[in-house]
Amino acid sequence: MNKQHQEVDSRRTFAIISHPDAGKTTITEQLLLFGGAIRQAGTVKAKKTGNFAKSDWMEIEKQRGISVTSSVMQFDYDDKRVNILDTPGHEDFSEDTYRTLMAVDSAVMVIDSAKGIEAQTKKLFQVCRMRGIPIFTFINKLDRDGREPLELLSELEEVLGIESYPMNWPIGMGKGLEGLYDVYNKRVELYRPAHYNSERFIPLNAEGDIPSDHPLQQNSVFPQALEDVELLVEAGNEFSKEKIAAGELTPVFFGSALTNFGVQTFLETFLQFAPKPSDHKTEEDQEISPYEEEFSGFIFKIQANMNPAHRDRIAFVRICSGTFERGMDVTLERTGKKFKLTNSTQFMADTRENVQEAVAGDIIGLYDTGNYQIGDTLYGGKLKVSYEKLPQFTPELFMKITAKNVMKQKSFHKGIQQLVQEGAIQLYKTYLTEEYIIGAVGQLQFEVFQHRMLNEYNTELIMTPMGSKIARWINPEDLDERMSSSRNILARDRFDQPLFLFENQFAMRWFADKYPDVELKSLL
């Protein structure tokens, strides 16, 4: 096996998806500690919190650290090189969050044991599902009283429609948490070994039990856990590597990130099943192998305004094949233009390092002065590939926009055009009146857009919130302008496709009943 082959095989690139507050930051931090990428708990957390002036995106960037330094985190564990891609939550939630999932090979879904599956988890899960990548589940906060583990598993199946397999099972919960019955590693992991005067790990015997004289046997939560596990073995899903690989079955782990319980077991078991980089599809339906010698990759995210004085941005490239080397020549597929990649950088949790060499699965950041767009393919040598277009996501929030100063129409249009192309925001025009409406999946997208229009295009905007709407596209041949009513807005997207923005579910159902032959379509 050559060096490139070995390097590719060691890569594990994934994202952690969750609803805010489920514990994603806490887990990420534990993983980075295990990997030696940070030395102190609190490093990632410190970046996440802090008050900020909402109007100033640069400040948001600086203080909350939704900066590139935490967008990609890399560390080595055992013989693996792990890349964790951040998927911001809260108000930071944006199309970028979805697009990041296009650049990973698997996802870890973190669920709060007291809350179960929440809205944001569900949306992010659906994007992972659409890609068919393996999804691993970590049910967190076992140190607090939560819902019944069996109930949580059924929720996974019912709400998300994915089969589950418990890799381990809680022994007690909240104040009564005693440990994990580790089905996969055939051992019990104690939460408080000192309390039992025991080792942390107790191997299971042939009957799947621990020695009869172990003091844990005296605690009623242990037989209860055994009973649950027996039930699951008999009536639950079978473990299947193939189904995990196809994203049809999610291995479920329990733990408590805050008390660092079960996280290392999760990491080690996860790394055995998480996939290495695989082939990537091109527009022409070709599959490019990660072992292919020539370099190629695609841009999935552009982070702007790192330095307002230079208007510079960072384009994030997911490498799909070849080896990236500093100073190498690449071609930007969209324009055919050649570049020398000298100014590139790769990011760690708390240090910014210039990358020397990277392979498929790795993420590199390229300094960009406006050359790149989201979805662009870069290739080296004669490979000449164009990777599949990134999907567009149905926006949920809308604003009407106009330029405050009518004299600034030219820069207004130029700014909108460029930012829309870059994927920062989606643009629509009302059908007859041609008013501009922008759409986003998260509020921060609007703020970033407004800030960038002012700073990069010198255009102050008047933005009128329209709140949340349900966007549905229709076939152009079905369009009849009389379908527009007070409960919907008829508009066209930037590809001239007609769509309705419905006020709410009720308005959409009313429309569907009235025009049963008109197909209403959503993006992802």
Q: Pick between residue 22 and residue 190 the one whose CB is nearest to ligand G4P.
A: 22
By CB under 6 A, the residues from 34 to 53 that bind ligand G4P are 45
Binding residues: 18-25, 86-90, 140-143
**Dist. CA 287–CA 351, nearest whole Å:** 35
- When the beta carbons of 173 and 437 are compared against ligand G4P, the nearer one is 173
Q: Are 482 and 514 in contact (CB under 8 A)?
A: no
Q: Is the dihedral of CA 261, 264, 265, 271 positive or negative?
A: positive
Cα separation of 48 and 62, whole Å?
A: 10
Shortest spacing between CB 25 and ligand G4P, in angstroms: 3
Rounded to whole angstroms, the Cα distance separating 91 from 446 reads 10
Q: How far is CA 431 from its chain centroid?
A: 34
25 binds ligand G4P (CB under 6 A): yes
Closer residue to ligand G4P, CB minimum distance, 168 or 450: 168
Q: How far is CA 444 from CA 264, 367, 412, 449, 523, in A?
A: 34, 23, 20, 8, 20
Q: Which stretch binds ligand G4P (CB under 6 A): 21-29, 163-171, 284-292, 321-329?
A: 21-29
- How far is it, in rounded angstroms, from Cα 386 to Cα 98? 21
Beta carbon nearer to ligand G4P, 18 or 265: 18
What tokens appear for 124 in the block? 């992010």
Residue owning tokens 């299947």: 240
Closest distance to ligand G4P from the beta carbon of 307 (Å): 27
Query: Which residues, in sequence order, are bridge partners of residue 329?
Result: 340
Q: At closest approach, how far in Å is the CB of 167 from ligand G4P?
A: 17
Tokens of 227: 């009973």
In the 8-state DSSP scheme, what is residue 24?
H
Q: Does 64 bind ligand G4P (CB under 6 A)?
A: no
**Residue 114 in contact with ligand G4P, rule: CB under 6 A:** no
Q: How far is the CB of 112 from ligand G4P (least distance, A)?
A: 8
Among residues 459, 298, 438, 447, the alpha carbon closest in space to that of 364 is found at 298
Residues in the annotated binding site for GTP: 18-25, 86-90, 140-143
Contacting residue, 11, 64, 80, 141, with ligand G4P by CB under 6 A: 141
- Pick 30 or 377: Cβ nearer ligand G4P: 30
Among 143, 292, 333, 447, binds ligand G4P (CB under 6 A): 143
**What are the C-alpha distances in Å from 506 to residues 78, 196, 475, 481?**
54, 58, 21, 20
Residue 178 CB, nearest approach to ligand G4P (Å): 16
Let me know how long the chain is.
524
Task: Select 89 or 322, whichever has its Cβ closest to ligand G4P.
Answer: 89
Which residue, 141 or 408, has its beta carbon nearer to ligand G4P?
Answer: 141
Out of 4, 13, 18, 303, the only residue in the binding site for ligand G4P (CB under 6 A) is: 18
As a whole number of Å, the end-to-end CA separation of the chain is 40
Asked whether position 23 contacts ligand G4P by CB under 6 A, the answer is yes
Q: Which residues bind ligand G4P (CB under 6 A)?
A: 18, 20-26, 45, 89, 140-141, 143-144, 256-258
